[in-house]
Structure 1
Amino acid sequence: MLQQSLSDIEQAIASKRLSLLYVQAPNCGVCSVFRRQVSELLEQMPAVNGVFTDISLVPSIASRFHVLTAPAVLVFFDNKEVYRTARYIKTAELKAMLDDYLQLMQDEKDLSN
Structure 2
Amino acid sequence: MHEFIDLFGFFDWQQAYEYVAKLNDEDTGANWRLPSIKELQANNELACEEPALNPFVFPNVPMGQVWSGTPHNKFEDSSYNYEYRNSIIFYSARTVKHFVHAVKSCAANTK
TM-score (norm 1): 0.29
Which structure has the highest strand share of the two?
A: 2
Which structure has the highest helix share of the two?
A: 1
Structure with the greater relative contact order (CA < 8 A, sep ≥ 6): 1 or 2? 2
